[in-house]
Each structure stands twice: as structure tokens, then as C-alpha cells.
Amino acid sequence: MQDAITVIGSINFDIMIKTKRLPERGETIAGENLYFLPGGKGANQAVAIARLGKKVYFVAKKGKDFIPGIVMKNLKHPNINLDYFIEDNLLETGVALVNTTGSRGNKVTLFMGANDKLTPEDVERAAPAIKDSKVVVVCTEIPIPTVKKAIEIAQKYGVKTILNVGSIGTKNREDVLSVLNGLDIVIMNEREGGYLTNRVISHMETGTLSGLELRKLGVNHVIITMGKEGTLLVNVHGATVFHRYGVEVVDTVGGGDAFVGAVAVAIADGKFVIDAIDYGNAAGALVTTKIGAQEGLPTKQEIEKFILVKKKDGEAKVYKDYNDTIKKLEKVALNMRRNIIKMLACARSGHLGGSLSAVDVIATLYMHVMKIDPKNPKWEKRDRFVLSKGHAAPALYAALVEAGFFKEDKLWTLRKIGGLSGHPDMKEIPGVDMTTGSLGQGLSIANGMALAARIKGLDYRVYVMLGDGEIQEGQVWEAAMTSSTRRLDNVCAILDYNGLQIDGSIGEVKSGLEPVVDKWKAFNWNVIEIDGHNYEAIVEAFEDAKKTKGMPTIIIARTIKGKGVSFMERKVEYHGVAPTDEECEKALKELGCEEWQNK
């Protein structure tokens, strides 16, 4: 997979008339300016991506031109590959009649022309381009069967998918809804979102309802652009509203396509969707300061400069309306950290630093990601979790309490006879899926569980957490080869990369660990690198892992040893010791727990 994007969409000849206002029904008004411009969602997005420095494959079909040379003018860009672009002079090129008032909006009438003749077979021939890409962008200005084929091929190769719903009046609602399942991102404006959900979207609340409805159809991120109101994101976290950047608007025609192109570039660069939307908002704002959908598309440097200036001016980029998922996880993780401190203080021994670093990922798994049933811990269809770095058992036990597998009082029996064992024991502790402790073995076990699911025809997933020091064990890499060779896409490993092990920093003990991302990629794994304490990043990474087909995923979670307690953070001496009573009291006070007696 290369650093490229494939755009599959429309190409049009735009005839634009600028007027002071839009005409009423049956009314004729005078135009101020007439423009002949290149356009079409696909072409606009391809040019937007190329100007932002990305290689782009453009898959489209054009016919005879109304005025030769105009529609292709900006497509002759060094970043645009036209190997799968089709010219058929027996057809007519698509035409858009645009009536624009500039800042007060526009009305568009489309003649689909050759766009309507782009076939699934045409897209099938472009499969090598899709396979070569990080992101595929497809729009609804081409036939829906062609859209379906593009999404199908992208998902086959594990390529991220963005569907831009546009010109919705030319398509049947049910046909469009039929392609949403499994999409990474769908982008539309409020009118198109309202059409799809049979609802008038007039404010963020109704937009949220529509977004939630579309999410139920299998979309990961629903993005609705709402003009002056801003941009609405509805995903697993709830609803988030992004402020619109203020500019002097000249022409709104290219705003949507600039937004889509910039979002695609940001996603291809590994940015999270919230940052991609901010980038897209900047691109969309800049293009509206000039006439034409393509003529004013910004460069990467222009966007970066624009965002920098706007931030200095104090323009907020985002505010949260709803964030119940994150709030819940933060609350759970805080309680887990308190209980880890208490557990080890009671036991007078244990592994503190690595338990605290793993909390946020484990909390997200048990409280949000995994399919489990605390009332039936051995449920055959449950997702599995293997804590390969078994010495971090206190973090697992704290999560099992939060999930409801056993009562909190049991935590105070850690490392005591008849109580919780120092390392996970699947025979004695409800909710523990595998006994661990001997480092390097967890991934092999996870592979076996994943293969069992395949043999039995079950759809459960297997999550396995590895320590960064642990992957110095050779067995880990033997298992990594097996995971990819067997194409175990139901295996998701998490590397708790806190940078410290019992004898010091990872680099000091064994300097050959880096480049860790490239190593896993070389073993044919899907690699996602995140801040292991950022819940939005953690949740999104697990969502992406679920959608990856044909290969296992590893999430490289950059974490902090001792996270949550300032005097323990990044301190190797807290790897394998329990806190003293004084340290316990100090840590719990920092974690907002004022009263506690050693049990």
C-alpha cells in the first residue's frame, strides 16, 4: 500500500451564472457574470488532493466536451494518475448548470452524461490503484452499483473508505442507504442528510438524530456539513460540533469538495477524524474566497498558514456537545487507578507502573469494545482478552470489577492465600480468559483462540496486550508470522509501549526494538499508532481494527509508566514495587480519593 488516494467519481463541465439573488419559481432575472469552468465532484476532489501533495488515481468517464480543453485543464497535474480515466466520444460529458449568489448559496442542475455510464467493470479494472491506496473516495454522482463495487474492492484490501453523498436528488434513497454498511466515513450536507433520513435538518440536534440513524446502518463516522452552523460529526463518542472558520465568501460551489479532499488527505496521513475535519474546514473556507470549484483549491502550505493565523486570532476549532462514552471511560479509569494503588498497598507487593500505563486501553476494551457477559464468563461467543504481560494483573482485575465479574472486596485479597493470584489464573478468577505470566506466550495463545473461532464458525475477536520489554522474546515474532500467514483478522494486539522495563529504559536494555512500527509492518500486520491515554484515539483504533480484513492488527499504544500519579510517572523504580502507606495516601489524594484505610 502506497501513500496514494483513489478518487472514483464524476467529471463535469460547469456553466456558472453569478446573480445577486436566486430567482423565484417562474421568474427571470439578470446575471452579473458568466463562467465556463471544470467541475464534477470526483474531478474537484482529485484536484484538491493533488494540490495538497498526495498522489491520486482518478477513475471517471467523460465524453465529448461542450468547449474542448476546459474540463481537463486542472487534471494535468503531476500528482494525478489518469491510467484508469476513460474517454468515450460517443457520450456527452456531464454538465452542471450553476446559479450562484456567492455567499448566499447556489442552485445546481445536473446533466449526468458520461458519469452515468461509469460501470462496475470500469472500477474492477482500477483494482490495482485501489490496492495501492490508503483511502478511496467515491461519490453518488455515479451509478450506485459502481459505488458498491468501489467500496467492495476497497474493503477487500483493507483500504479506508469515504463516501461523499452528493446530488442526492438524482438517486433513490434506498439505493444510497444500501451502500453504507461498513463505510469508514460518509460526508454530506444537511439537505442530503435530511433526504436520507426523511427529516428536516435545521439545527445540530436534528442533525445528531440523523447521524445516529445512519450510524445504525454500519457507518463508523457520519459527517454533516451545515454551512454557517459548522460541521457535525456523529460517531461512537456521540456528537461533536466543529466551528466554521470565518472568511469573506465569494463562491460556495467548491467548499464541499475541498472539504472532502482535505479530509481524505488527513486520513491518509494517519490523522484522527477530529483533526481531519478541522483540516477540511480550513480547506473548505479557503476555496470559497475565490470563484470556481477548482480554481481556488488551496495548497498544503496555504491551509497550514491559514490554521496558524486563525488559531492566533483565537478562533476555536471544536467544542463538544455530547461525549458520554469518553466521560464514562474517564470515570472508570480513574476508579481503576485508585483500586490498583489500594490493591498493591494491601498486598505489599506487585507491579505498579505497568498496571497504571495499561489502564486506559483495558478500560476501553472491557467497558466499550469487547462483547462479554459477566453473568456468563465462559460464554462461547464472547470476545477474548489475553494479558500477555501478566504481571499487570491488577489492571485486569480492576477492569473485571468495573465490568461486573466480581465484587470490589475481592481486590483486597491480591497475592494472599485463597485470594487473587499475582498473575491471571483462568481457573480461579471469573472473566480471565487465559493464565499468563511467562512472557512472550500470549500472542501464540491468541492465535490459537482465533483459529478456533474460524474452525467453529464463530465471529468473536481476540485481543492480546503485549509489553514493550516482552517483545524482546523471540516467540512473539514467530507468533507474529503465524498471525499474518493465517490472515487472522480477528486478532488485535496492543503494545503497551511505556518505554521502561525492570532493568531500565527499553533502549538501554536492548536497543534494537525500534523502528517498532516498521517491524510489525514488515511482518504484514496492519499497524495503528496512538496515544494510549487518549480515549478518542483508543476507541477509533479499535473501530479501525474491526474493519480491517485479511490481516491482523497491532495498536502501538504510546503510554506512560505510572500514568495518573505524578511522582510515579516515567519512574523505572515503580516497575515492580508496591507503594508505601505514605505513597499510597499521597497517590490516592492526587486521584481524588481522600479517605482510605489499608485493608
Tens of pLDDT, residue by residue over 184-194, are 999 999 999 99
* Structural domain contains residue 597: no
Of the pLDDT bands very low, low, confident and very high (cuts 50, 70, 90), residue 200 is: confident
User: Which residue has cell 476555536?
Assistant: 316
Looking at residue 598, its pLDDT comes to 59
Q: Are the C-beta atoms of 290 and 296 separated by less than 8 Å?
A: yes
SS3 call for 231:
strand
- Same domain flag for 331 and 184: no
Residues 313 and 330 in one domain: no
Domains of the chain: total: 2
| pLDDT surpasses 90 at 381 | yes
Which pLDDT belongs to residue 103? 57
pLDDT value of residue 22: 81
The pLDDT of residue 508 is 78
Q: Is pLDDT larger for residue 340 or for residue 26? A: 340
Give per-residue pLDDT as tens, 203-221: 888 889 899 999 999 999 9
**pLDDT (tens digit per residue) in 226-245:** 887 889 999 988 888 888 88
Domain identity same for 356 and 306: no
> Average pLDDT of 263-290?
91
Residue 514 has pLDDT above 90, yes or no: no
| 595 is a domain residue | no
Final residue of a domain: which of 270, 289, 320?
320
- Tell me the three cell numbers of residue 126: 482500477
Q: How far is CA 519 from the centre of its chain?
A: 22
* Mean pLDDT, the chain, integer: 90
C-alpha to C-alpha distance for 108 and 100, rounded to whole angstroms: 8
Are both 501 and 462 inside the same structural domain? yes
Q: Is the pLDDT of residue 314 over 50?
A: yes
Rounded-to-integer distance, Cα 135 and Cα 149, Å = 15
175 and 199 assigned to the same domain: yes
Verify that 262 and 333 share a domain, yes or no.
no
Q: Does residue 598 lie within any of the structural domains?
A: no
Same domain? For 177 and 242 the reply is: yes
Same domain, 186 and 273: yes
225 and 312 assigned to the same domain: yes
Q: Quick one: 12 and 131 in the same domain?
A: yes
Contacts of 384 (CB under 8 A, 6+ apart): 433, 434, 446, 449, 460, 461, 462, 463
Q: What is the pLDDT of residues 448-485, one digit of tens each?
A: 999 999 999 999 999 999 999 999 999 999 999 999 99
Q: Cell 492465535 appears where?
A: 447
Mean pLDDT across 482-489:
97
All three cell numbers of 70: 476546459
Q: Grid coordinates standing for 101?
A: 449568489
* CATH classification at residue 422: 3.40.50.970
**Taking the model in full, what pTM does it have?**
0.65
Does any domain span residue 493?
yes
pLDDT for the residue numbered 14 = 85
Tell me if 421 sits within 8 A of 412, measured CB to CB: no
Q: Is 110's pLDDT higher than 90?
A: no
Residue 406: domain span: 324-590
Task: Using the predicted structure, report yes or no on whether residue 398 has a pLDDT greater than 70.
Answer: yes
pLDDT at 594: 62
Residues 294 and 378 in one domain: no
Query: Which bin fits 187, alpha (ψ -120 to 50), beta or left (φ > 0)?
Result: beta
The per-residue pLDDT for 167 is 74
Position 169 scores a pLDDT of: 64
Domain assignment present for residue 473? The answer is: yes
Picking from 273, 305, 320, the residue at the C-terminal end of a domain is 320
Indicate whether 230 and 351 sit together in one domain: no
Query: What pLDDT score does 170 carry?
Result: 66
372 is a domain residue: yes
More confident residue, 581 or 363: 363
Question: pLDDT tier at 376 (50, 70, 90 boundaries)?
Answer: very high
pLDDT score for 430: 95
Which of 303, 320, 337 is the endpoint of a domain? 320
Q: SS3 for 123?
A: helix
pLDDT at residue number 411: 94
In sequence order, which residues have a C-beta less than 8 Å from that of residue 534 and are 6 or more positions away? none
The whole-angstrom separation of Cα 333 and Cα 130 is 40
Q: What CA–CA distance (Å, rounded) separates 489 from 524?
A: 11
Residue 599, in any domain of the structure: no
Mean pLDDT of 499-505: 83
Q: Average the pLDDT over 78-91 and give the result.
A: 95
Higher local confidence (pLDDT), 9 or 321: 9
The x, y and z cell numbers of residue 43, run together, are: 474531478
The pLDDT-based confidence of 322 (bands split at 50, 70, 90) is: very low
- 160 backbone dihedrals φ, ψ, rounded to 5°: -65, 145
* pLDDT of 320 strictly over 50: no
Any idea which of 62-66, 265-269, 404-408, 428-432 has the lowest mean pLDDT?
62-66
In Å, how far from its chain's centre is CA 242? 17
Q: What are phi and psi of 98, to 5 degrees?
A: -115, 125
Give me the DSSP letters along 46-105.
HHHHHHTT-EEEEE-EEEE-SSTTTTTGGG--TTEE-TT-EEEEEEEPEEEEEEE-STT-
- Residue 455 maps to a domain: yes
